[in-house]
Every structure is written in structure tokens, then in C-alpha cells.
Structure 1
Amino acid sequence: MATLLITGAAGRIGTALRPRLSAAGHDLVLLDERRPDPPVGDRERFVEGNVNDRTALEAALPGVDTVVHLAGIPTEDTWEALVEVNLTGTKNLLEGAAAAGVRRVLQASSIHAVGRLPEEDAPASVPGDRLPRPDTYYGFTKAAMELLGSLFADRYDMSIVSARIGAFGERPSSRRALRMWSSPDDLARLVQATADLREPGHHVVWAVSRNTGSPADLRAGEAIGFHPVDDASAVLDADERDALPDEDMRFLGGGMTDLPLGRRTN
């Protein structure tokens, strides 16, 4: 199997993916500023640092087949912080991967790259590679990250997947998540589809599950071998679904569309 580098490996998504990717037979290199929990296990190697630390990248990338780029600020923040981490950090990661001969990268984009799209304008189907319509500075940096993926795919014959993640979690946690949930198992399936790519190119896809009633058009992901199987409605029983908290449903990005631009959230 492949050797995968996970940036931001100690974060919520990286922590959920680790056991799933290890069980699939992959060796993992874990890059983060803090030690992962649970501790590093067999067939895992930890490199302390971040994507703006070139020394750490040089230590992490040799021998890697595919990068799973999860490192970044995951919500609205100051312009300066978002650009430094989400854009400059992604540029550094892609430069390092290209220099090390790594030809496959899955990078975590977000629903917020298209978060300002009114739900009433897209009741049935939103293509995975729809043109960006960001809802925040955070969403803008995710849309710009996708452009960096396109640039490096073209310049260095890399296979890069920009994955627009929806409402990630072990279980759906809101009414919006019933439509835009990204299950850990399905994200692991997208990592595998990326690791299996052999033709260069950039692909923007929905990294969401096959949720009943979802506006996410999954065909862009299916074209590269990503076939999600989980359904948020099937994970919860009727009483659990009825008890889910309400959420702003005017835009794909939910309540984040009303956050003051550039104001850090907790």
C-alpha cells in the first residue's frame, strides 16, 4: 500500500482518519505542532512542525506517495492569519511535495468556498466543481487553495484533489448535517481514490456522504473513483433526527455567512 503524509494530523479529521487509513494497510507520516492523540503507533511516524516550517516538510516528505493536506485554520479569523496558514502554508506544502517527487495530493477545501450560494437557488444539485462563491475570508482562502491546486497540477503534472468538506463528524450534529454530512469512512474512501490516481490533473469534488436530500452533486468525485456510501439519515433514528438543533438554511454555508469578516471565532 501507500505511504501517506497527513498534515494537521493531530486535528479532528486527521485523528479520525488515522485508524481507518492504517487499517487499509497504509504507512502514515504525521505532521503537526503537537503530538497526536492517540499516540503514534506501528507504521506511523511523527514529525513535529507545520507547513510553514520547511525543515519539518523536508523531514516529512521523503518516501511519501500521497499527501493528505488537512493543516489550516478551520474557521473565520483575521485576514493575516488565514493567508499565512491556509494560503502560504498550502503553497509551501505543494512546493515541497513537487520538489520531493510526490505526485498526489488531497487538500481540504470546504463548503465555505461556495458558502454564499443561496440554498433556494440550488434546491436539487450543486456540482462539486462549481465556481467559488465564498462566504467569509476563510471561504476565500479555501477557494484560493483550490487555485493553487490547479496551478501545481498543471505545472508539475501532479494529481491534486480539492475536497469540499461539508459538516464533518462521527455522527450528524445538526439539521444541515443531514444534507451535507461528511462521514469519516467516506473521507477515507476519498483519500484512497486520490492515492489510486495515476493521471495528472486537478479535481474539485464534494467530500460529502451520499446523504438523502443533499444538494451536493457527487459526479465530479465519482469520475475519479470516489463513491461515498454513508447517509446521514440512516445513521440516526427518527427521534434523534427530530432532536437535532436548527441551523440557518438560507445559504450553503449556514450561519457562518453572517460572521463579521476577519473576526476570529472560537
Structure 2
Amino acid sequence: MKKIVLTGAAGRLGSYLREPLSKMCDTLLSTDIVDDIGTLYEGETFVQADLAQMDEIKPLLEGADMVVHFGAIVDEAPFEQLWGPNFVGSYNIWEAGYRHGVRRIVYASSIHAVGMYPRREFIGTDVAHRPDGFYGLAKCFTEDLGRMYWEKRGLESVHLRILSAAQVNNPRALGTWLSYDDLIQLVTRAIDTPTVGFTVAYGVSNNDRCPVDNANASFLGYRPKDNAEEFAEKVLAEAPEADPTDPAQMCHGGPFASVDLGSSGLAQMNVVDDRKKS
């Protein structure tokens, strides 16, 4: 490919995607709202831009083959805060992509689009949306946006419902973990699969306790290799007593399912910022 655009390049997941994406194309255009992302990889350029501003986003997509859209506020927050980057930002990416003839958009969706389903239900990619907050609602909006742009305008997209791409330090993560190596494989398969139409796939590793079913997305060829079970003994020994009345423990969305609308879900979690340094 000649050009890939990566949004959210300064984020934790974006930091692990930049190098492999730079090797898949002549030019990787990385973008984020911050003013610097560190040393650039060979073939990578960086442009500061606000997802909510079409006049800043549209020029970046000119000549792009694909967009890997990971830019957003990545937490539950008041609707007004999420509106620009998470709702309008998605529209701007899809509309700019359509205007410039982009072939495909790979989107960082989330388990929070279906976060209120009970964990005892082994859910597939075809279940109805059931968001656990405004953040999850933005993911539902963008999945529906992607389906509409495919069916009405022929713009392909793959929506990766990431469960928890973070260090395994709690019982829920024994099922939801997505390792960084598996993240890279998943994004790579979403890019190099010849045709995808509109596709939803769960972003999760090969965990023994995986709570979701990726069978409908098996054609992507994503075959995760890592398994969180290697952390199980330590995590379970240190975990507090389980509470079956706690939505954070009983719903797919974890802590996001238990906090009030607009209140941070990440504040209830111990997510380690181990982003890759370039």
C-alpha cells in the first residue's frame, strides 16, 4: 500500500501499532491531538489534528488506502465531552474517507458496545448493541455508521471490539486480555484480508476463559497466540472475594457497567500505562 493513516497515534495502543503499520506501506501518516509522538519510524510522518474538525482531518486522508482509526477519548465521560472526538470524529473519518476514495477503515470499537450483557452469556459478534455508557454508545454509533457507509457507499470497515488490551492484574482480565502481539496480528489481518465488507470482530487473545465468540469473523484469519491463564494463579490469589451482585464482576463491560453514566470507568481499574517508546 502507498499510504495508511493512523489516528490516536499517541495513545497506548497506537504506540504499539505505529512500527508494524509503517512496514506495511510507503507512507504512514500518524495523527493525534498532541503536538509530538516522539521519534518517527522510517516512512512515518506526523500531523497534529483534532478529530472533531473536518477541515483538519479531511486533508490527511487524501491518497490513503486505509485508515486505522484508534483516536478517541478512551473512557466513560459526560456526553458533551465525548461528542466531538468520539461521535463527530467518527463521522469525519468516514465522510473524509469516502470523499477521498479510501478503501477500508479499521476501527477500535470496544466490548463496551455490548457491555451490559451478563458475562455468563457467551456472546457473538451478531448480538444487538447493549452499551454500558456514553463511551459504549459512541462505539455503537460508529459500528452503525460503518455498516451504513458500506451498504450505501461501498466503504469497507472492520470494527474491532477490544476487550482489555492491558496488563492482566484482575480476574476479569483472565478472559478479556488482548496482548499487544495479538493486537498487532488482529489489525494486520483486518488490513490484509482481501475483502471484508462490514465486519465486527472481538479483540481478545486465546484465553481459556474468553467470554466472547469470534466465529463469524474467522474468515479474517486472526488466530491469537497468547493466553492469560499464565497469570491466573497469581491474580486469583490476590483478588478480593467475588461479589455476584456487582455489575462490574457480572457484566461484560466490567467496571464500566457499574459506574454512573458519565463517570470514569478507568478510575475503577488499575491500568498500567506501558506504552511503547519510539
**Same structural fold, with TM-score higher than 0.5 when normalized by the shorter chain:** yes
Code of the aligned partner of 1:207: G
Match of 2:234 in 1: 239
Which whole-Å deviations, capped at 9, do the CAs of 1:200-256 have from their partners, x for residues lacking one?
Answer: 52111101111112111121231222222221223x374366346778321111121
Code of the aligned partner of 1:126: I
Q: Is the 8 A contact 2:19 2:41 kept in 1?
A: no
SS of equivalent residue, structure 1 residue 175: coil
Match of 1:128 in 2: 125
Code of the aligned partner of 1:254: G
Bigger mean CA offset, 195-204 vs 110-119:
195-204
Bigger mean CA offset, 80-89 vs 194-203:
194-203
Match of 2:189 in 1: 193
* 2:192 pairs with 1:212: no
Q: Is the 8 A contact 1:114 1:135 kept in 2?
A: yes
Partners of 2:189 and 2:249 in 1: CA distance: 31
SS of equivalent residue, structure 1 residue 105: strand
Structure 2: unaligned runs, 5 residues or longer: 243-247, 268-278
Match of 2:50 in 1: 50
Hey, which bits of structure 1, 4+ residues long, moved more than 6 A?
Answer: none
SS of equivalent residue, structure 2 residue 101: coil
Which whole-Å deviations, capped at 9, do the CAs of 1:153-181 have from their partners, x for residues lacking one?
Answer: 11221220111001112x32321111011
Q: Which residues of 2 match residues 35-114 of structure 1 at below 5 A? A: 35-114=35-114
Q: Is the 8 A contact 1:2 1:66 kept in 2?
A: no
Partners of 2:74 and 2:30 in 1: CA distance: 18
Partners of 2:181 and 2:236 in 1: CA distance: 20
* Structure 1 residues 16 and 200: alpha-carbon distance in aligned structure 2, compared to 1, 3 A threshold: closer
Code of the aligned partner of 2:234: D
Structure-2-length-normalised TM-score: 0.85
Bigger mean CA offset, 59-68 vs 103-112:
59-68
- Identity of matched residues, %: 32
Q: Is the 8 A contact 2:58 2:93 kept in 1?
A: no
* Structure 1 residues 9 and 212: alpha-carbon distance in aligned structure 2, compared to 1, 3 A threshold: same
Code of the aligned partner of 2:141: A
Structure 1: unaligned runs, 5 residues or longer: none
Structure-1-length-normalised TM-score: 0.89
Partners of 1:92 and 1:157 in 2: CA distance: 17
Q: What is the aligned residue count?
A: 261
* Offset of residue 262 of structure 1: 2.3
SS of equivalent residue, structure 1 residue 263: coil
